[in-house]
Structure 1
Amino acid sequence: MSGGMRLIIALLTCALGAVASLDAAQAGRLKRVLIFGDSLTSGFDLPEGAGFAWALRRHLAQRGRSDALVMNTSRAGDDTAIGVDRIPLAFSAGADVVIVELGGNDMLGDVDPGVVYRNLEKIVHHSKRVGARVILTGMVSLPKRDPSYKKRFDAVFPTLAAREKVPLYPFFLDGAFGNPRMMLEDGEHPNAAGSDYIASRLAPLVAREMNAVDRRAHGHYGYAGR
């Protein structure tokens, strides 16, 4: 078993352990927020407690959603194809809200945008099949030798979100990328401050989707409030 797979299992085990420590009534009220991404959300090169998942948990609690069980199955280096391959493991603990954050490594590897679209579509479809709300976070391409690549890649995320009728956070690193106070020295990954900033901006959207899960539990369905 690879180290990455062991890490995912450990993270899921930790999340499930938190549920087990609560009584049945409390556990039943928890909403499972699954982060399904790459190094941008994995806490790459950050100490424990300083990454995106921890910051999101804090910001959700500040918005009155202390019932969020944030499960981070992100893994550094993954592209969308690897993401599709690890769907069964990533969803093994279930999910109520899924944050899909993949695509940056595809762009760096010049993967055809059509392939990226189809892979992300599979992840979104699986999320819906298991009854989860989906939040798609976007990525934008660096300039490429092929001038058409950026246009086609950047269109993947808004097009998929519109067709699948899921909320889109247009650019995951918006407001952090290019700001040395919010990025690691490599200029590619958010530091603790950047992770906290991004989480603060995504938290209202996640909380809204958690509210939709609550409404569905009371017999109200659909993506109302988009």
Structure 2
Amino acid sequence: MALLISALFMSQVVPASPAVARPLVVLAYGDSLTAGYQLPPGQGFAPQLEKALKAKGRDVTVVGAGVSGDTSTQGRARVNWVLAGMKQKPDLVVLELGANDMLRGQSPKTAKTNLDAMVKAFKAKGARVLVAGMRANPTLGKPYVTEFEGMFAGVAKANGAALYPFFLDGVAAQPGLQLDDGMHPNAKGVVVMVKRILPAVEKELAQIK
């Protein structure tokens, strides 16, 4: 009888389905530099980063969440709203904010507090964070420049996040890679930005289980 019951039980056991791999989600969270300011669809940072990662064989979706003109305060204010609206929580966040704070001469202390809060919010959702740094206009004075540029590394270190020192590396002040305003990258500039930051993004993705 015991053998019969055992056989009946085993006949009804459904083998567990193998785990289905899903694309990793990268959230590009920032201002006009991640929003693809004045660029045609598909040529901004988020779609170009996704294209570059897929060319490397990565199964990823890059979600663009850049809002032109956003300061760190405005970026912080919409974090929960953006996360709530995502179908799948991000595995990695490229956090790029602070440039507009600097352009308006706002306090680096405020920007640092906001960046710290955003990193903590993203990490609380289980995401890795890559903090993208920015450089300050030298005309703001050495004390401001030192404090502003140093806050990105400070926030990253305090939260165990990765740091990419300069988001516009290879593009800033380079002829032919910027729009007429001399601040935002054109399509060619975005390609350079993506190429430069790609190793840092891949390194973070490789750490995701």
TM-score normalised by the chain length of structure 1: 0.80
Q: Which residue of 2 aligns with 1:221?
A: none
Query: Which of 194, 205, 209 does residue 210 from structure 1 map onto?
Result: 205
Query: Which of 166, 187, 193 does residue 192 from structure 1 map onto?
Result: 187
Query: Which of 44, 55, 58 does residue 51 from structure 2 map onto?
Result: 58
Q: Provide runs of 4+ in structure 1 moved above 3 Å.
A: 144-147
Counterpart amino acid of residue 69 in structure 1: T
Query: Which of 119, 122, 131 does residue 127 from structure 1 map onto?
Result: 122
Q: Which residue of 2 aligns with 1:173?
A: 168
1:50-129 correspondence to structure 2 within 5 Å: 50-65=43-58, 67-92=59-84, 93=86, 94-129=89-124
Percent same amino acid at aligned positions?
38
Say what the alpha-carbon RMSD is for the aligned residues. Answer: 1.5
Q: Show CA shifts across 1:152-188 (max 9, x none).
A: 1111111111222211110101110111211111110
Are 2:25 and 2:61, in contact at CA under 8 Å, matched by a contact in 1? yes
1:147-186 correspondence to structure 2 within 5 Å: 147-186=142-181
Give the whole-Å Cα distance in 2 for the aligned partners of 1:55 and 1:201.
Answer: 12
Are 1:133 and 1:209, in contact at CA under 8 Å, matched by a contact in 2? yes
Q: Show CA shifts across 1:2-59 (max 9, x none).
A: xxxxxxxxxxxxxxxxxxxxxxx76x51111001000011000000011111110111
Counterpart amino acid of residue 203 in structure 2: R
Q: Show CA shifts across 1:202-223 (max 9, x none).
A: 1222122122113xxxxxxxxx
Give the whole-Å Cα distance in 1 for the aligned partners of 2:82 and 2:27.
Answer: 8
Query: Residues 175 and 145 from structure 1, CA distance in 2 versus in 1: closer, same or farther, beyond 3 angstroms?
Result: closer
Unaligned 5+ runs, structure 2:
1-18
Give the whole-Å Cα distance in 1 for the aligned partners of 2:183 and 2:74.
Answer: 20
What is the aligned length? 189
Greater Cα shift, 145-154 or 80-89: 145-154
Give the whole-Å Cα distance in 2 for the aligned partners of 1:205 and 1:160.
Answer: 17
Q: Which residue of 1 aligns with 2:25?
A: 32
Greater Cα shift, 56-65 or 138-147: 138-147
Are 1:63 and 1:207, in contact at CA under 8 Å, matched by a contact in 2? no
- 1:139 positional shift: 0.6
Are 1:36 and 1:90, in contact at CA under 8 Å, matched by a contact in 2? no
- 1:144 positional shift: 3.2
Unaligned 5+ runs, structure 1:
1-24, 215-226
- 1:191 positional shift: 0.6
TM-score normalised by the chain length of structure 2: 0.86
